A = this chain, B = another copy of it.
Amino acid sequence: MTDAPRHGGHPSRTASDPAPRTAPPRVRLVDVAREAGLSKTTVSAALNGTGRLSPAVREKARDTARRMGYRPNAAARQLRAGRARLIGYVVGEFAGRPWTYLESPYFAQLTSATAAAALRHGYALVMLPAGSLQGEWADLPFEAVIVADPVADDGVVEDLLAARIPVFSDASVEGRAGAHWVDVDAGAAVRETLDHLRDQGARRTALVLPDSTTRFHRGVLTAYHAWCAAHGDTPRVTLAADIGNGPVVEAVDGALTAAERPDALFVVAELSPPLVLEAARRHGYDVPGDLLVVCASEETTAAYTDPPVSTLSLRPGEVAEAGIELLVAALENGDDEPSGVLVPTRLMVRGSSRRADRG
């Protein structure tokens, strides 16, 4: 018996086909079984640790499999199990520039932490282009798709839900069947930051924010206005026309050159902290003397500037962790019931927002 016959309506190589030195066919379960003088079932049970087998047999099966370099065919397993253990990942923001999101430290961390957590639970994460419709990847066997920070007019979530694919996103999907979410407590974060700045003596805190319809950004804006109202302050908001260092620097410039100069700056946009400091310097501010600065940022550069920049961390790692936990639970239960969880942020106070003469 030189070779196991592979018949059936299978794509086969004809004799005339040039046949580039192609790898020998993969080792299958039957091959292992035959080699070990056992049956498929036995080997399968041995390898999966199921069934009641004698230790000797189990050992023998495993040995043979290892020796032959057997690797189970995932497609067959998936077909059998009806589950692919594949999760799609797409970022809703940045819809215009499908792949730039990883350049934002927040999304970079969120993405990698999500991939890590997913893998730990036995799911593989597939990166998808932001803002793409399902057209491009409708055929991938996703058990769920994560839509990070969808924008308000984004149809992805609807499309996905309509296609009966469970969606995992932020709190904007709350309550929809098949939709689950994690979110960050934007309101609490804003209040904590503004309170801190006020504690340090700030009375005219300006906010710089991208002009985005993300739930997070809207939440920040709302909370800021509410806080100002509660404290009798005039809101000072500058919207950045777009994301990226350029437009946000412009917005910061705008905020710093306002008729009534601010005495604190809260930047909730991905702008490299050193550049914020540079902008302040450029406009004649001393930080933290005339201007307190807090950036919502995950950049590690913040700790290395002079003065170090206070940051508000949105804790992408925790968000990812909590999210995957929830998603996996929902998936394993086959649960359509919506569910969600809120993750707290963390304010890291550094030199840029601490007055020497204050607590």
Residue ranges of A at the interface with B (Cβ–Cβ < 8 Å): 10-11, 20-23, 26, 69, 71-79, 81-82, 84, 86, 98-103, 105, 108-109, 111-113, 115-116, 119, 124-129, 136-141, 162-164, 178, 244-246, 249, 272, 274-275, 278, 282, 299-301, 303-306, 333-337
Q: Is the CB of B334 within 8 A of A23?
A: yes
Q: How far is the CB of A184 from chain B (nearest CB, A)?
A: 19
Task: Knowing that A78-B78, A102-B112 touch, tell me 13 more A-B residue pairs with CB under 8 angstroms.
Answer: A20-B336, A21-B335, A22-B335, A73-B79, A73-B141, A74-B84, A75-B84, A98-B116, A99-B112, A111-B127, A115-B129, A274-B274, A278-B306
Copies of chain A in the complex: 2
Q: Is the CB of A74 within 8 A of B274?
A: no
Say yes or no: A301-B282 contact (C-beta < 8 A), given A99-B112, A140-B124: no
Closest to A282 in B: B306
Q: Is the CB of A71 within 8 A of B116?
A: no
Q: How far is the CB of A203 from chain B (nearest CB, A)?
A: 29
Bound CA span A129–B163, Å:
30
Q: Is the CB of A336 within 8 A of B301?
A: no
21 pairs, A vs B, C-beta closer than 8 Å: A20-B334, A22-B334, A23-B334, A74-B84, A74-B140, A75-B75, A75-B82, A75-B84, A77-B139, A78-B78, A99-B112, A99-B115, A102-B102, A119-B136, A124-B137, A125-B126, A126-B126, A127-B127, A246-B300, A272-B272, A275-B301
